[in-house]
Amino acid sequence: MFLTQTFIYTLTPKFDILISGGGSYARQEYTNFFTNAYSHKDRIGFDNLWLGFIYTGDSIADLIPQITFQTAVVQREKAINQTKNFYLKSQSLQASLRGYSDPVVYSIYTGFGYNQSRKFKTLKIEYGNSIYVGGNLSIILSPKITLDLGAEQRFQMKQKINGYQNSKVRSIPTLSLGSTYSINSDTAVSVNASFGGSSASPDSIFGISLWKKF
């Protein structure tokens, strides 16, 4: 289970500051090798903090361009029995075009994710970089309700551990389906489900988001 909090602070009509942090809850279940007794360990903790910006350009043929950049200020990761904080080791850059044609709001985007290697006591892990392209479609069903659709194709580069390759380039296609309900002009709630299209992607991810304008 994951919890992510995102803040977008508008400095100018074209420039926003983006701050995002996340934590998670996980349960590790296992059977004692000597007694065959079932047991488990619960973990609740902080995972990451990202900082970035969103730049919105002038419209191009009724399309609004945006550039989003983020860098991971800190990421807390675990390998074998060591948990370690990593600073400024991951960055992402995304370019998108957003448009509107009644009753549809749509966007297309492409991006690049960069990962530096992680050094633990006995391991050096190179996660590999990623590139992706996708699109989103929101159909306005009523003044308060939209139907949200999305599709993305991501390629994850090969991973290495201590210099030895342990994965190939992976194709990760995903489809998403959801809906957003506007409670009022400042508050909205959305539900979303995404489904993986290959063995390299999660089978399904379900999420609930609360949007609040201050």
pLDDT given for residue 191 in this prediction: 95
137 forms bridges with which residues in the sheet?
106, 149
pLDDT grade for 41, boundaries at 50, 70 and 90: confident
| Single-letter amino acid code for the residue at 180 | T
Residue-range domain boundaries for the chain: 2-28+42-212
pLDDT given for residue 28 in this prediction: 78
pLDDT grade for 212, boundaries at 50, 70 and 90: confident
pLDDT given for residue 202 in this prediction: 66
Residue 198 has pLDDT above 80, yes or no: no
pLDDT digits (tens, 9 = 90+) for 136-146: 999 999 999 99
pLDDT digits (tens, 9 = 90+) for 49-90: 999 999 999 999 999 999 999 999 999 998 888 999 999 999
Reference 117, options 153, 154, 75; nearest CA is 75
Determine the CATH number of domain 2-28+42-212.
2.40.160.40
